[in-house]
Amino acid sequence: MKQLLVAAMALLAIACNSPDSQGASNSESNTPVATPRAVRDNSPAESPDITLTLSGVQVGSPVSLIGHLNEQRFRADSTVVGQGGVIHFQRSEPYLPGFYYILIPQQAVVQLLIDKDQTMQLQADATDVIGTMQVEGNLENEILYQNLQFEQNQSPKFDAISSQLQGLQKGSAEYERLTAERSALIQERKAHLQGLFEQYPNTFFTSYKRAGQNPDLREPKRPDGSIDTEAQVYYFRQDFWNGVDFTDERLLRTPVIFNKLNRYITELTAQNPDSLKAATKYLMEKVVDNEATKEYLKFFANWITLKYEPTKTTLMDAEAMYVFMVQNYFTRERAFWSDSMNIYGLQQRAEEMAGSLVGHKAPNVTSFAPDGSEKTLLDLKAPYLIVYMYNPTCEHCMEQTPKLVNFYREWKSKGVDVYGIALDTDQQEWTDYIRKTGMNWTNVFDPTNRSIYGKYYVDVTPEIYVIGPDRKIIAKNIKVNQIEEVIRRDKQKG
């Protein structure tokens, strides 16, 4: 929990101490957001006619207009620098509203907000694009650069205070003076943004910048008067999405939504399935079953599911997160972006995973030993059971099997037994492998897979499950060298 508070404080520091980087993150200062959503007109966007005159760039240089879509960037258009540093983008088809930047490699980057009005003239010096920018004919970018110029002027003041604070003792007179100056700068920034929001409530700029705000840290108190940091992190996470208008699809074509999603899931949420499921459910309830927010549902559902796809993450029991996402959001009613066959395949895979999640009762398996007799997993009497699923020709199995053999020799007398399940092999290869590796535990193999299908899910071999004394799964997706720690922690809980 302390790490989550540090992450929350880091977000605030980023918001308070630095302006938006060009074409990068858009987390902003801490202003509570309770103003009305922007009223957007439904008129079509006009054909773009964008002229940028940029002094200090080389004539003939290639120029790209780069757009954003969720976490990706794409080239929306291209041209070259003309005489006098003139850069012109003009075509009949409108650009999709969103955040763009004009890129002249190794020479300049120019930020743009593009909405319905796609006619504008801009002029600046490449050595100081923000400070020298002049905009005509486009309100969105007039406001954007008014804000960027304010933040650029504030940035050295924040940097100077941060530098002076280094090494000062907290609570000293100089420390208190500097932190008061920093707080005054933060309030100045809040007032500046709030003034723009109130003056231009229906602009894309306001929707975009408001979405990028971080919430103020609340200060819940314990009975002794100290700040309850655990509750503080909880409230920060609860407030994190307050400024986002989930009906505004333009925001999906800016960096702000992906940046917030990534931080919310990976920095502000503890990386265990229970915490991730709770945080995800809280977010998804803001966008599910609403036609106006369906594009957010699509992005969030796909990004989170792929983030914790079992073969691509080190999260303990990633299957639990995957099953949760598929069973709740990749349904025929909600997954409008996918066809019925894909949905069926995902649901079937999730169902196969669902029976062997951490915390669930361990499925029983009865299969065939090398002599043809039946061996049942839960007939084993040791307090801790290891289900080891392997293939004799698997490279990683060849690495892990000798380690498990050594572990078993040491821990057999300490209350551990192993039930080995061979996969995708044949009788001769299997029995040869047992003899070669010295796997003297219970070994089974079913060439039909009928006795083991749907019991213990395995994406890649080797797969290790650990079953505790109450015959619940206490760990999975681990290496042999992690088994001892898993057992030690489980004993401490008891």
Distance CA 239, CA 237 (A): 5
Rounded to 5 degrees, what are φ and ψ at 464?
A: -120, 130
Please spell the DSSP secondary structure of 160-192, one letter per residue: HHHHHHTTPPTTSHHHHHHHHHHHHHHHHHHHH
Percent of the chain with pLDDT over 70: 91
Predicted pLDDT of residue 382 = 97
Distance CA 254, CA 265 (A): 18
Which residues of the chain register pLDDT less than 70?
1-41, 494
Predicted pLDDT of residue 199 = 97
The residue behind tokens 């922007």 is: 38
CA separation (Å) from 400 to 45, 303, 484? 60, 32, 15
What pLDDT, in 10s, does the model give residues 270-316? 999 999 999 999 999 999 999 999 999 999 999 999 999 887 887 77
**367 contact partners, CB below 8 Å, separation of at least 6:** 374, 375, 421, 444, 445, 446, 451, 452
The residue behind tokens 């369906």 is: 294
- The C-alpha torsion from 140 through 146 and 148 to 150, rounded to 10°, is -160
Fold adopted by 366-493: Glutaredoxin (3.40.30)
Q: H-type helices in 1-97, by residue range?
A: 2-17
Residue 173 exposure: Cα atoms within 13 Å on the Cβ side: 0
Give the residue from 224, 300, 226 showing the smallest Cα distance to 70: 300
Predicted pLDDT of residue 73 = 95
pTM exceeds 0.85 for this model: no
Please spell the DSSP secondary structure of 330-391, one letter per residue: SSTTT-TTS-HHHHHHHHHHHHHHHTT-TTSBPPP-EEE-TTS-EEEGGG--SSEEEEEEE-
Predicted pLDDT of residue 494 = 65
Sign of the four-CA dihedral 183, 244, 42, 49: positive
Instruction: Tell me the Cα Rg of the chain.
Output: 29
What pLDDT, in 10s, does the model give residues 347-374? 999 998 998 999 999 999 999 999 999 9
Predicted pLDDT of residue 27 = 33
DSSP 138: -
Predicted pLDDT of residue 167 = 85
- If DSSP codes are grouped into helix, strand and coil, which group holds residue 74? strand
Predicted pLDDT of residue 39 = 52
- The C-alpha torsion from 191 through 194 and 196 to 197, rounded to 10°, is 180
CB 97 within 8 A of CB 250: yes
- Going from N- to C-terminal start, the domains of the chain cover 1-227, 366-493
CA separation (Å) from 271 to 99, 309, 335, 344? 31, 14, 25, 28
Fold adopted by 1-227: Immunoglobulin-like (2.60.40)
Beta bridge partners of 189: none
Give the residue from 94, 133, 78, 52 showing the smallest Cα distance to 250: 94
